[in-house]
Chain A
């Protein structure tokens, strides 16, 4: 259905679609939604680099493609490096890179390909200052390979290589703070976002596009298959992750922190709210939940202080 121009102008989310129907994501997949928003925001003049991850499949097997934009599928650990090469070639060929009328070079990688095997290439990309955007869609495990733990898997979560049993669950480490590692590179723009808050995500995508230099967005992206959660609860869970301050929304811009929570005055909800509906947390005891809550509180206080001091 054609949307009338006057209505189009009032929409906060672009009406254009460059992510085709018929993709092969699971039901309730956050990543496919995220990819759709990226394409809506940037349109066709976007070059994607996608490493081995769920999106390799979502984007389609040869000769099909779900993306109405050029895409280079690459090896697991190389997102940052391949996008560096693409950006360098665009510059040498005289293309305008970034900005509303420029070409957007987008790396789109999962948490395994970013927090773990791809961290070195991400670091190199950030440090060299390429004009491109790296998006880590964070579903907190290696979902495409069968739900194995990644550095971004939270404390207490079941995965196939950190299973829960009668005695214990095996994931005893807290989630790796990839965004903090990114910020340590002192890049111009970094942010967290969530598929439950598309306006906020799109605003951040535009900011990443309009800020010269490397930018990074960590997008919270539910995975019903790996989280053992109902497919119709993905958005609710993504929202609860923000509302519990488990995954707070914030921006880091030229040395300044800004928290952008949907209800800034409300105190975060207890972490149990986020844990519900998710089979992956079923092995957690009361004490485990308390340990996770303490971590969330600590990180949240830290972020608030950073925003207060460097706001």
Chain B
């Protein structure tokens, strides 16, 4: 069948819901939280209208239970999905470890939202980045198209390496903003994403298994190693699945870091998620103005694209890392990770951390220009002014 995309104007959340439908998800257990809610509402609507049939929808009493029920469903062999945001993701935290430890390929959309207090419903990446060490893969979407594509790819990757995956989109900037999304006809999604073949199920009654039992000091260590290995192996699978997606549907995701006009760049802006759309636009403007700049969009934060980062870093003079998040007592989380990766290599670009857009603070092309001016001054001088710059701070 020839690929003819179906174009729909949808929000990021509806893009996620359509992807869930097209992925033939079998169990959705979810709890409402702003701004995630319209994902599960749309799925409920699909079910009510008979647009999805072979599915069980479990309206649970908390996010903690949403993840627990997804775990039960996934361990029984079903393709399971849930979605959340901020405080909800924090409440799930314990069970995220359980999902990864039990090697269950659950896919979840997290709509990046700032953590309270003060209460905020706007964009901030600290919620998902706080889940860094749970054993979940993390894909950051730049736009609604990447939300849709990301969910479909995440299922395929997760079910290959038997690890859960999070697809992350920005609160309101994507979740509630409408844009054209090219959707894939069901038959072609089915070819790309066949039914799940579970690693194990709880329904093998003749050979019953016990999952999650006590692991003594004699065994626990090896369990952790296998999880670490699966995460490392995921890099290859991400590359292959991203490439296959490109060959089938024209959008190539084989690179974990998407490079934009970096070939001859003196310095690059690096970041994740929707803010990189603004950055790419700014790069075009700045190029017109004579800056030799590029953008490096980190698509997958877990596993971390260390090799790709090294390749990028050895060819540029400096990297401006834009973090819409912060690790208190240290620095921006992406900045921290990127510096760590490069320490034992011979690539030593100047690296500066800009904390931007926390809690939904606007981040515009003009902001990128100001950062470019500052970066240029640093490069000319050959040394940093400050390492971590709270760029938007009202002084």
Contact = CB atoms under 8 A, between A and B. Distances in A.
Interface of A: 44-45, 47, 49, 56-57, 59-65, 67-75, 77-78, 80-93, 95, 103, 120-121, 123-124, 127-128
Interface stretch (B204-212, B244-252, B265-273, B374-382): B204-212
Contact of B58 (A44, A64, A70, A128): A128
A79 to B, nearest CB: 9
Contacts of A59: 210, 213
Given A86-B73, A92-B55, A69 B214 contact: no
5 contacts: A69-B205, A74-B98, A85-B72, A86-B76, A88-B69
Contact of B26 (A57, A70, A89, A121): A89
B111 to A, nearest CB: 22
B202 A72 contact: yes
B130 interface: no
B29 A72 contact: no
A47 B98 CA distance: 18
Contacts of B72: 49, 72, 74, 81-89
A103 B204 CA distance: 11
B216 interface: yes
B203 interface: yes
B211 to A, nearest CB: 5
B98 A75 contact: yes
Given A47-B203, A128-B58, A128-B59, A72 B212 contact: yes
Nearest to B29: A85
Interface residues of B, number: 45
Contacts of B202: 47, 70-72, 86
Nearest to A66: B210
B61 A121 contact: yes
Nearest to A71: B210
B209 A91 contact: no
A128 B62 CA distance: 13
Most buried by B among A61, A85, A95: A85
Contacts of A95: 203
B50 interface: no
Contacts of A60: 210, 213-214
A167 B74 CA distance: 53
B203 A103 contact: yes
A61 B69 CA distance: 24
Interface string B12-37: 00000000000000110100000000
A303 to B, nearest CB: 29
A68 B205 CA distance: 9
Contacts of A128: 58-60
Contacts of B80: 85, 89
B203 A90 contact: yes
B114 interface: no
B56 interface: yes
Nearest to B27: A88
Nearest to B214: A61
Given A92-B27, A128-B59, A70 B204 contact: yes
B215 A82 contact: no
B69 A68 contact: no
B219 A62 contact: yes
B94 interface: yes
Contacts of B212: 72-74
Contacts of B215: 61-62
A88 B56 contact: yes
Contacts of A65: 208-210, 213
Contacts of B219: 62-63
Nearest to A123: B61
Contacts of B78: 88-89, 92-93
B215 to A, nearest CB: 5
B100 to A, nearest CB: 13
Interface string B36-64: 00000000000000000011101111101
Contacts of B75: 72, 85-86, 89
B205 A44 contact: yes
Contacts of B209: 65, 70-71
Most buried by A among B58, B60, B72, B208: B72
Nearest to A76: B94
B208 A67 contact: yes
Nearest to A47: B202
Contacts of B255: none
Contacts of A44: 205-206, 208
Given A44-B208, A84-B60, A85-B76, A92 B54 contact: yes
A70 B59 CA distance: 25
B298 interface: no
B56 A92 contact: yes
B262 interface: no
A92 B203 contact: no
Given A73-B210, A85-B29, A88-B72, 14 more contacts: A44-B206, A45-B205, A57-B214, A59-B210, A72-B211, A75-B98, A82-B72, A85-B68, A88-B56, A88-B58, A89-B75, A89-B80, A93-B76, A121-B68
B214 A62 contact: yes
B65 interface: yes
A73 B93 CA distance: 17
